[in-house]
Structure 1
Amino acid sequence: MEARTRRRVRDPIATRETILEAASNLLAKDGLEGVSLSAVAHLAAVNRGTAYQHFETREKLIEATIQWVSDKLFRAVFGDPETIGDRRVEEVDTAALTDRLCDFAMENPEICRVWLQQVLASPDPSQDPFWREYAGSLQRFADTKLAMPGIDAEVFSVMNLAGVFFWPIFARAHAANEEERNALTKRFSHEILRLSMYGSMNASRFPEVAARLAAEDGAA
């Protein structure tokens, strides 16, 4: 009898995690339209009443799922959020950080794209922990002498993340196995670093473009 009673005891934290994981899978598979509390409850193998206890509405479930994905991203790329305040931008291993971001995107391509679309469409993207740290770290970098002048950290963040999260579409379509996908991930990570380090245009060959950029930077 005691053992049977123990089996009935539920862990609310574990149940919530199971529901969020199921919701993230549905988001990745079917987009926002495919997410409902009943569908998530079915996939998570919990009854609808339990799902409603944790999330009163579909909107709250989607919001919590996006936050859940953001936390996964944060931990995969930056580490423990509790210690992130100790990190100085001058000490960041940019190459390793880029590799971690590209690896996570390749393993979780659909949910990363859903997350990015939701965050960019939100009234205040800075409310999202991962976006806040990613764009914020680029801004802190731009404010140091380590950076070239004139970096627009917000635009740069969108460009980088859009590329990182959409590259897996190409990689998965053109890779026959995991080894080839890993090679394509490394190619992308390499190009992100190369563009960050060297850019793509030889300024001496494009004096008019260089003059335009200098004028726009001066007017900003």
Structure 2
Amino acid sequence: MEAKTKRRVRDPAATRETILEAASNLLAKDGVEGVSLSAVAHLAAVNRGTAYQHFETREKLIEATIQWVSDKLFRAVFGDPSTLGERKVERVDVAALTDRLCDFAMENPDICRVWLQQVLASPDPSQDPFWREYCGSLRRFAGTDLAEPGIDSEVLSVVNLAGVFFWPILARAHAAEDAQRTELARRFSHEILRLSMYGTMKAEAFPGVAERLRKEAAEANAR
């Protein structure tokens, strides 16, 4: 009796995800210049024809990859995009959000830097979902009674994200173990919170953050 040949089940969505993940790895490793459809197809273990079916040009592949990274970043920091309308900046746990952002950057430093460079160089950064929400959140926060006056939300967004995404360069150069990198991520998160607490946020409105900063400072001094 002849054995039945198993046919490979096609899953376009899964194939697209595999291609985008491969493209993000190449972007992180070699930058935009290192991305080509043939190189991505090879890394994703699909033929070039399949890659071209999903992305007609290299430019469309890069654009889709940046959007894919933005979605990953968005979900890691803000959660499910479908619940966006439920987010109120006055109720956001600023400390937890900062921790999530710093953790994601520490785990994905190269692709985060490529993402930021591509978004800032684009004609309209607000077309990017994560940038739109991050910068928009700061702008909305600046309009509340919790914020100090005179905040430039766009400049502050660049300052924060550039620092968060470039700090891992130092961290990875000086920390060989995950625990050490986690500690360095916490250090950066602490400093971002401290600068925000006494620069953009009205400190008296965030007693929980103030207490956390006091405890962390005491622990650091005791080491």
What TM-score, normalized to structure 1?
A: 0.88
Matches within 5 A, 1:87-102: 87-102=87-102
Matches within 5 A, 1:40-55: 40-55=40-55
**Aligned partners of 1:101, 1:92: CA distance in 2, in Å?**
14
Could you say which residue in structure 2 is the equivalent of 1:186? 186
- Note the aligned Cα RMSD (angstroms): 1.4
Q: Which runs of 4+ in 1 moved over 3 A?
A: 1-5
Q: Aligned partner of 2:191: which letter?
A: E
Q: Unaligned regions of 5+ residues in structure 1, if any?
A: 200-220
Describe the SS at the equivalent of 1:8. Answer: coil
**Aligned partners of 2:195, 2:185: CA distance in 1, in Å?**
16
Following superposition, the deviation at residue 3 of structure 1 comes to 6.0
Could you say which residue in structure 1 is the equivalent of 2:202? none
**Aligned partners of 1:105, 1:9: CA distance in 2, in Å?**
35
**Aligned partners of 2:92, 2:109: CA distance in 1, in Å?**
25
Q: Aligned partner of 1:165: which letter?
A: F
Could you say which residue in structure 1 is the equivalent of 2:28? 28
Q: Aligned partner of 1:188: which letter?
A: F
Following superposition, the deviation at residue 182 of structure 1 comes to 0.7
What CA deviation, in whole Å up to 9, does each residue of 1:110-159 have, x standing for no partner? 00000000000000000000000000000000000100000000000000
Matches within 5 A, 1:152-191: 152-191=152-191
Q: Aligned partner of 1:63: which letter?
A: E
Following superposition, the deviation at residue 2 of structure 1 comes to 9.6
Matches within 5 A, 1:1-220: 4-5=5-6, 7-199=7-199
Aligned length: 199
**Aligned partners of 2:54, 2:134: CA distance in 1, in Å?**
29
Q: Aligned partner of 2:166: which letter?
A: F
Q: Aligned partner of 1:195: which letter?
A: L
**Aligned partners of 2:61, 2:161: CA distance in 1, in Å?**
24
**Aligned partners of 1:2, 1:86: CA distance in 2, in Å?**
55
What CA deviation, in whole Å up to 9, does each residue of 1:143-198 have, x standing for no partner? 00100000000000000000000000000001121111111000000000000011
Q: Unaligned regions of 5+ residues in structure 2, if any?
A: 200-223
Aligned-pair identity (%): 84
What TM-score, normalized to structure 2?
A: 0.87
**Aligned partners of 2:142, 2:87: CA distance in 1, in Å?**
16
**Aligned partners of 2:5, 2:13: CA distance in 1, in Å?**
21
Describe the SS at the equivalent of 2:146. Answer: coil
What CA deviation, in whole Å up to 9, does each residue of 1:30-56 have, x standing for no partner? 001110000000000000000000000
